[in-house]
Structure 1
């Protein structure tokens, strides 16, 4: 988990992962999207590869990269413990409870009126 966390600490590497989320890309196409040198992008790709977040495949003269999203699972699971339900979730739960209570009360009132 530590190597994955270290790999995604850099914004360029996070951007590369987002790019690879949609489809596999060759190294050259990845590099052309950044205002840094190709050797710098290659170093970022190497860090991602060594952490297991991307896989590379040599096809002819091009090196293609693909995302290995499963490697994020452990880190995602660990981070989940810090997610608190939003205020909206609590409000929606309260609203659902109130709607249920109101419907139940209306049903009771309507039955009493029919029998009166």
Structure 2
């Protein structure tokens, strides 16, 4: 009986530790589990910047299109910095994500149009 109690206790502790470890990198926000927001916003900005650079390198973006996209990316960075000064609310985070979604679609369209 004593052995069963110890085994059960050990299983409960291991289960709790596994749950904690799997949730450590996540932030609960509005019913969704999301990766830490600061990292995901910045990482996404970097990926979008890389997409613009690849478009310039392979010629799928004209200099004018690239310039416009770069200005939009810089504007987004300034807005994000301004919002972070007071701390991001879930609503502001969602707004930034929506803006990034629109910008991502814009990059997609610009890289695939025929100048």
Q: TM-score range by the shorter chain?
A: under 0.3
Which is helix-richer, 1 or 2? 2
Which is strand-richer, 1 or 2? 1
Q: TM-score, normalised by structure 2?
A: 0.27
Q: TM-score, normalised by structure 1?
A: 0.27
Structure of higher CA gyration radius = 1
